[in-house]
Structure 1
Amino acid sequence: MNSAKLNMVAGAVLSVLLVTMGLGIVSDIIFHAEDPAIPGYEIVVADADSSAAPAEEAPQVEPIAVRLASASAENGEKLTRACAACHDFTQGGANKVGPALWGVLGRAPASHEGFRYSGAMQEYAQSAGSWDYENLDAFLAAPKAVVSGTSMGYAGMKKPADRADLVAYLRTLAESPMALPEAPAAEPEAPAEGAETPAEGAETPAANQ
């Protein structure tokens, strides 16, 4: 191979190298990316104390004595249809899966003749005293919460108004219905901010009438 051909081959190789280098430089210019100050991705964790929503308070339920004032025994009788498979509500009625409920209000728990109560209900009876309005209302709301281990499979009646209606009906299942409980006295309203209050010993307008 003469020198002319060698020069041509060398020139071709050099040209390819120059083109390749040029393309690399141009690519770096076009697709250049700045290196991040902090490598990787920053994960922002929310502050649990500041972002956590405040826990909702349980709704305040009026005492059974207050609810009974507007309760409907007629509606309560309709609610017993869901209980009729397990309980008899007539006077002298027989026990079923559950005890007969005539006269249940005011009766001692686990005391109806002829019915075999669970050990949990018998234990509850030692401290409960009787099925008064408050005990019955609480038990109807959540039987297993009041008597842990009870054999009663009922999940509970969640609406306070429905429980008041049912208790009002159960009250009628007696020859002499139990006296209604006295509703607690309403707390006096606090005076509005900025309102004047009579000084001690000062006469009010009513005192002069």
Structure 2
Amino acid sequence: MNFRSLAFAVSALAVLSSHARAQDVDAGKLSFNKCRPCHQIGENARNLVGPELNGVIGRKAGSVEGFNYSEANKESGITWDEATFKEYIANPRAKVPGTKMAFAGIKNEKEVNNLLAYLKTFGPDGKAKQP
């Protein structure tokens, strides 16, 4: 193996390992414990203090049937994507003033990425998506 090939292999490994670390589903499942007192996810998820989170990425804010959202959340115009979720989870009341979500937020980018990776393993029906 020549130097150029070795350099490419090392670079590729670094990129792949950093991507894997950026999206650690198991760590995200642990982070979800911060959400669990108010939210559920999975096939039998139901609304608690907060709405169930199945299929949250791609879903319009304030749209889970049977959950009593704040007017601020219903009228936010948000459709949850990764960037919006990251802003919201860092400081819910700053992103949507008037939200009922009383949560200090998760500010650590790696933890948020892991949480997103975990949330995205569930489809809108609560079934686990195949990798």
Same fold (TM over 0.5): yes
TM-score (norm. length: structure 2): 0.76
Q: What CA distance in whole angstroms lies between the structure 1 residues aligned with 2:68 and 2:19?
A: 33
Which of 24, 34, 47 aligns to 1:72? It is 24
Residue segments in structure 1 that go unaligned for 5+ positions in a row? 1-65, 178-209
Structure 2 match to 1:146? 95
4+ long deviations beyond 2 Å: 66-70
Residue segments in structure 2 that go unaligned for 5+ positions in a row? 1-17
Asked whether the 8 Å contact 1:144–1:150 carries over to 2, the reply is yes
Count of residue pairs brought into register by the alignment: 109
Q: What CA distance in whole angstroms lies between the structure 1 residues aligned with 2:66 and 2:19?
A: 33
Matched, 1:103 2:55: yes
Residues 176 and 80 (structure 1), Cα distance of their counterparts in 2 relative to 1, 3 Å cut: closer
Matched, 1:122 2:74: yes
Which of 117, 121, 125 aligns to 1:172? It is 121
Asked whether the 8 Å contact 2:42–2:128 carries over to 1, the reply is no
Once the two structures are TM-superposed, the CA of residue 119 in structure 1 deviates from its matched residue by 0.6
Larger Rg: 1
Structure 2 match to 1:161? 110
RMSD (Å), alpha carbons: 2.0
Structure number with higher relative contact order (C-alpha < 8 Å, ≥ 6 residues apart): 2
Matched, 1:131 2:80: yes
